[in-house]
Amino acid sequence: MQLKTGHTPIRNYKRCLEAAHDRQVIITVFSSGGFKVEAWNYFTWKDLKIFKNKDETFKGVALLVYGKDEESYWTHITPEACKYLGVTNMIF
């Protein structure tokens, strides 16, 4: 997909990350999880489900969107987003 400006979405995404510095976690979690902006008001650390391999190494993360709301649902976030959240180094 090519935008009118000649930039691809990936290139624009990378430029946003470079400019964001301390907001990289917001950009990566939001773009990989695909949820609405108002969902940020519901997130807690309990909404993260961390998966590990049999050898106890990090495998991935699922994120519960809208917490205990009746319309809650699970989504997965990218390894890059997990890195910015700091969950790849958490003790299980």
What residue segments make up the domains of the chain, in order of their start?
Answer: 22-89
pLDDT of residue 73: 94
Rounded-to-integer distance, Cα 43 and Cα 47, Å = 6
Rounded-to-integer distance, Cα 76 and Cα 33, Å = 6
Work out the pLDDT band at 92, boundaries 50, 70, 90: very low
pLDDT at 3 > cutoff 50: no
Note the pTM of the prediction, 2 decimals.
0.68
